[in-house]
Amino acid sequence: MAARTKTKVSSKYKTKYRVKNWPAYDFALRERGDLTVWLDEEAICAWKAPPSGRPGGPRKYSDLAIVISLTLRAVFHLPLRQTEGFVASLIGLMGLGLKTPDHTTMSRRSRDVEVPCFAQSGGPLHLVIDSTGLKILGDGEWQSHQHKTSNQRRSWRKLHLGIDGDGYIIASALTDRTVDDACVAISMLEQIEGSIARFTADGAYDSRPMYEALAAAGATDIWIVIPPKKTATVDRRAKMPWRQRNEAIDRIGEIGRRQWRKESGAHQQARAENGMYRYKRIIGDRLRAQHREAQKTEALIAVNIINRMTALGMPESAKIVA
């Protein structure tokens, strides 16, 4: 059993919260486990693939049929063969004359299937970005440590999530573990529709190209909260929004880094950490697919699942005033 990590903040000074909408949130949690899975008329009509007009044999199943099957697989944590049986039983219960994609078809099509994005967000956004690791292949760390073995195949991918103020994942990317976080975040800005009013991230995103990309996405009035590196220096010739970094460096020198985090609201970066925690609790901490493109599809489908569960209801917390 892993040792419990001790917090640096005394429990006497920790802020306590209370969920204000517990009845509604309790109902939403129960809805997430509802097994009443059904196909609507739109999905039934679009189950078969339309003629492509290309030479060769036509596809039997549309992208929608493959995405539905892979979504059920992710929600119920099923291998591909059990997913095939699950979908077949669902079609049989509904009395539909549809064929079920076999497990080899789902595996092959997952590499190039188009996954529609499900996100509900509008108006000026408060975007919070962070990344986490997802395991792929190989044995776990505990087994390797216990038996003193090194598995060269054991590796992991890095999942980058962009979360808005309502908890929806509005941008995501799956990359190799060696890719720079700031470079990925710049490319993720292209996925976001609408203006960004505030951007919060940790020190890994402290770079001039990141500030310049944010300026292009939100003009010059965007509020950027990124903790500067401890070795950061002030550039007096800088223009907005890079000048915000100078102001942060000066303010940290006056009141200290911990107080600056409270004053600037840098602690709101925890929203991204909460989103990654929810991802791993609901979906898991590893990728089942082995092909790189199939892993990206798996992550996109998982993001859609998290967003749909978020739409059912989220807790509204308030500080408990002593």
Where do the structural domains in the chain lie, given as residue ranges? 34-109, 125-312
Both structure tokens of 16: 């306590």
CA proximity to 179, closest of 138, 133, 127, 225:
133
Is a pLDDT exceeding 90 seen at residue 128? yes
Q: What is the mean pLDDT of the chain?
A: 85
213, 221, 226, 209: which is closest to 171 by C-alpha?
Answer: 213
**Which pLDDT tens digit goes with each residue over 153-167?**
567 899 999 999 888
Compute how many other C-beta atoms are within 10 angstroms of the C-beta atom of residue 210.
24
Q: What is the pLDDT of residues 252-273, one digit of tens each?
A: 999 999 999 989 989 888 889 9
Distance CA 61, CA 47 (A): 6
With pLDDT > 70 as the criterion, what percentage of the chain qualifies?
87
Whole-model pTM? 0.85
Report the distance separating Cα 57 and Cα 300, nearest Å.
28
In this predicted structure, what is the pLDDT of residue 47?
A: 94
Query: How far is residue 200's CA from residue 130's CA, in Å, rounded to a whole number?
Result: 9
* Residues paired with 155 in a beta bridge: 136
Instruction: Return the exposure string of 71-94: e unless at least 16 CB atoms fall within 10 Å of the residue's CB, then b.
Output: bbbbbeebebeebbebbeebbeee
pLDDT, greater one: 282 or 5: 282
pLDDT band at 116 (very low <50, low <70, confident <90, very high): confident
